[in-house]
Copies of this chain bind each other. A is one copy, B any other.
Amino acid sequence: MTPADDPLYSQRGVSASKEEVHAAVGRLPQPLFHRAFCRLYPDVLTGNDDWAMLVHGDGAGTKAVLAYLWWKETGDLSVWKGIARDVVVMNTDDVFCTGAPQHLAFCSLINRNRHLVPGAVLNALVEGTLEAAADLEPFGVHLHYMGGETADVGDAVRTLTVDGTLTCRLPRNRIVKNEIRAGDLIVGFASFGQTTYERAYNSGIGCNGLTSARHDVLQPLYGQRYPETVDPATDPRLIYCGSHLLSDTYANHTVAALLLSPTRTYVPLLREIHENYIDSVSGIIHCTGGGQTKVLHFIDQLHVVKDNLFPLPPVFELIRRESRSSWKELYAVYNMGHRLEVYCTEPIAEKLIALAAAFRIEARIIGRVNSSERPRLTLTIEQETVDY
């Protein structure tokens, strides 16, 4: 049991470590490279042994529920475009940890309660997907939106779920297999700030931990106004138990803007890394579910030490204040400052940091890898040391 699966966290019906899910996935056919970030299989679509392929699935999770709150309060449909972008980015950024396809085929899956979610929301989701795809074009990445399914299933979903899948082919000799080594440095790339290709400040929240963030930060009135955003099996003390309104200001941003900031894509940067440094990086990790502990799925006899983490961006400061959670729990749920980390040698680390600067993505050496008898992770947060 990881700290994220402690009884309190579990009572909200979520799991950061997803042990049950990993067990079920273990029944699937073995992928080509057991530590590559995405599951790669032989390219059965062409039968060409020089290539691999993947079909990846991911979604916006309960960030869609938060968007629902905002949209109900304000009528602002554009929030759904952000959710569509979240779904695209949660998929592309997983895929680009593994390789750098030029062409990706996207399919969306929406399950909605038609009593509550009208066609205008579906339109905004489609438009947001097309916009997110268009924003990748200048970087030579072509995301083709090929369709999907929208089901009206009010007996199954309270409001809606928004998911998508990405299919692509990758040359087998251009894959990052995640062979992390003792001696590697770890470069972290900020999830917050404003890159050259973003139109506004990004809080860095991403798409993980939103069930907790929503309940911990927001006031009880949201539960009263929108009971359809709450699992009635959850302990009432854990429901919307924060002190904020969505319209409150925190660190010069509204709480809504902080929590609903669309997930930053690292694709422009990752494309350059694959192009120029593929033979020099030993691992690329997308710190999504499991936050800063994600790397534990990709190592055996190593001790990952992260002792120079980013200062806490405001959104996570807000969540920490409101939730009063431990560092250990927070860093196992949220990215807390960087959603991408690359494992490499020192000279490469400096080059990657310079590369990121060109996109105005803050980057730094956040730690290093030592040898160990068992997989270990140690974070240094302020003066505290946290072990996983």
Contacts and interface: CB of A to CB of B under 8 A. Distances in A.
Copies in the complex: 2
A164 B113 CA distance: 19
Given A55-B147, A59-B149, A113-B231, A158 B161 contact: no
A127 to B, nearest CB: 7
Interface stretch (A103-111, A198-206, A357-365): A103-111
Nearest to A116: B233
B45 A169 contact: yes
Interface in A241-265: none
A1 interface: no
A118 to B, nearest CB: 7
A154 interface: yes
Contact of A153 (B105, B146, B161): B161
Interface string A35-57: 00011010011100000011111
Contact of A20 (B39, B116, B118): B118
A165 B146 CA distance: 11
Interface in A3-58: 10, 12-15, 18-21, 23-25, 27-29, 31, 38-39, 41, 44-46, 53-58
A320 interface: no
Interface stretch (A60-68, A305-313, A344-352, A376-384): A60-68
A326 interface: no
B153 A57 contact: no
Contacts of A113: 13, 231, 233
A130 interface: yes
A114 interface: yes
Contact of A156 (B55, B64, B145): B64
A119 B25 CA distance: 11
- Which 5 residue pairs are nearest across A and B when measured between Cβ atoms? A13-B154, A20-B119, A154-B231, A24-B122, A55-B107
17 contacts: A13-B113, A14-B154, A25-B147, A25-B148, A28-B145, A41-B105, A55-B106, A55-B165, A56-B147, A61-B153, A65-B153, A113-B231, A149-B163, A154-B233, A155-B230, A156-B157, A156-B161
